[in-house]
């Protein structure tokens, strides 16, 4: 992919090396188990139980947006600048898409972390992979995931890395459009379809990543092999591929993101059409 290093994005928050520890509960701390219980109660009773018990992210010792970034090697800095370029390019693309329909787009933040992190959605570890939190409207990634993407999943290349970030920003687009809220409401009404709806939400984020990839092709910043890298990455992180690698068997009933075939199909749909309306993974 053709890109020019240009410093760090204003939407980037660098908290590498800070780590995390749980949720604050009054004078104490709330672990991930307690967070899950409060989240379930909040959904069932439609009340904010976090507010009732005074729980919130423990932000002590965290680096502020304008704070001094942690020490970094030239190789790491190059990666950060690449991630910054992708972050800005993806969000600039969606800003233009929203403007076409007379809507405004609120940009997401990207939080870089190492090993673990406190998010508005709770305590997270690197093993969870990159994720988006609608509560604080931030995407989170440990840059070490890109090495895992290459070594463990067999998906190297800069456009494979770009696809991952474009997918997470795709979740922010869903949040901006109110899609994720509707999906969660549907999951509450019909818990038996929770996994199916989760898969459809993830596949739409793949399609939205394809919409951005389409824009890069239109602007002639793609290089030969880039789309193949993205398709390979989408396939490599399919639920069936991951389950087969981890357990030797595949159980579609426990999928949350979709199969390799589904993920590549929906990314390709977005890429080939460039049309947001073609990304309705909930139809049918």
- Does some domain include residue 12? no
- Does some domain include residue 136? no
pLDDT confidence of residue 69: 60
Q: What is the domain count for the chain?
A: 1
Query: For the chain, which ranges sit under pLDDT 50?
Result: 21-32, 45-46, 49-66
Each residue's pLDDT tens digit, 168-219: 999 999 999 999 999 999 999 999 999 999 999 999 999 999 999 999 999 9
Measured distance between the N- and C-terminal CA atoms of the chain, rounded to whole angstroms? 36
Domain residues for the domain of 211 are 82-105+155-284
DSSP 3-state percent helix, strand, coil across the chain (nearest 5): 55, 10, 35
CB-based contacts of 210, cutoff 8 Å, min separation 6:
266, 267, 268, 269, 270, 271, 272, 279
pLDDT confidence of residue 55: 45
Residues 158, 229 contacting (CB under 8 angstroms):
yes
pLDDT confidence of residue 199: 96
- Does some domain include residue 4? no
C-alpha span between 81 and 85 (Å, rounded): 6
- Does some domain include residue 235? yes
Joined tokens for residue 174: 């869903």
- Does some domain include residue 191? yes
- Does some domain include residue 87? yes
- Does some domain include residue 260? yes
The sign one gets for the Cα dihedral 252, 264, 142, 248 is positive
pLDDT confidence of residue 22: 41
- Does some domain include residue 17? no
C-alpha span between 268 and 233 (Å, rounded): 12
pLDDT confidence of residue 28: 43
Q: Of all residues in the chain, what percent carry a pLDDT higher than 70? A: 81
pLDDT confidence of residue 205: 98
């Amino acid at each position: 992919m053709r890109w020019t290093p240009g410093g760090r994005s204003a939407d980037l928050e660098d908290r590498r090396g800070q780590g995390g520890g749980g949720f604050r509960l009054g004078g104490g701390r709330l672990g991930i188990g307690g967070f899950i219980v409060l989240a379930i109660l909040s959904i069932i009773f439609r009340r904010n139980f976090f507010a009732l018990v005074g729980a919130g992210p423990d932000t002590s010792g965290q680096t502020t947006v304008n704070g001094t970034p942690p020490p970094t090697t030239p190789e790491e800095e190059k990666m950060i600048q690449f991630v910054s370029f992708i972050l800005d390019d993806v969000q600039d693309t969606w800003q233009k898409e929203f403007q076409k329909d007379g809507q405004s787009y609120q940009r997401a933040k990207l939080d870089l972390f190492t090993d673990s992190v406190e998010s508005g959605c709770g305590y997270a570890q690197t093993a969870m992979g990159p994720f988006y939190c609608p509560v604080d409207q931030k995407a989170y990634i440990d840059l070490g995931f890109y090495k895992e993407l290459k070594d463990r999943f067999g998906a190297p290349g800069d456009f494979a890395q770009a696809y991952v970030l474009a997918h997470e920003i795709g979740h922010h687009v869903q949040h901006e459009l109110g899609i994720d809220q509707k999906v969660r409401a549907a999951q509450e009404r019909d818990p038996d379809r929770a996994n199916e709806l989760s898969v459809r939400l993830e596949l739409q984020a793949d399609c939205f990543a394809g919409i951005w990839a389409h824009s890069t092709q239109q602007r002639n910043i793609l290089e030969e092999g880039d789309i193949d890298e993205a398709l390979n990455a989408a396939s490599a992180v399919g639920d069936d591929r991951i389950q087969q690698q981890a357990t030797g068997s595949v159980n579609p009933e426990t999928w949350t993101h979709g199969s390799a075939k589904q993920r590549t199909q929906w990314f390709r749909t977005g890429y080939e059409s460039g049309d947001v309306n073609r990304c309705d993974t909930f139809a049918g």
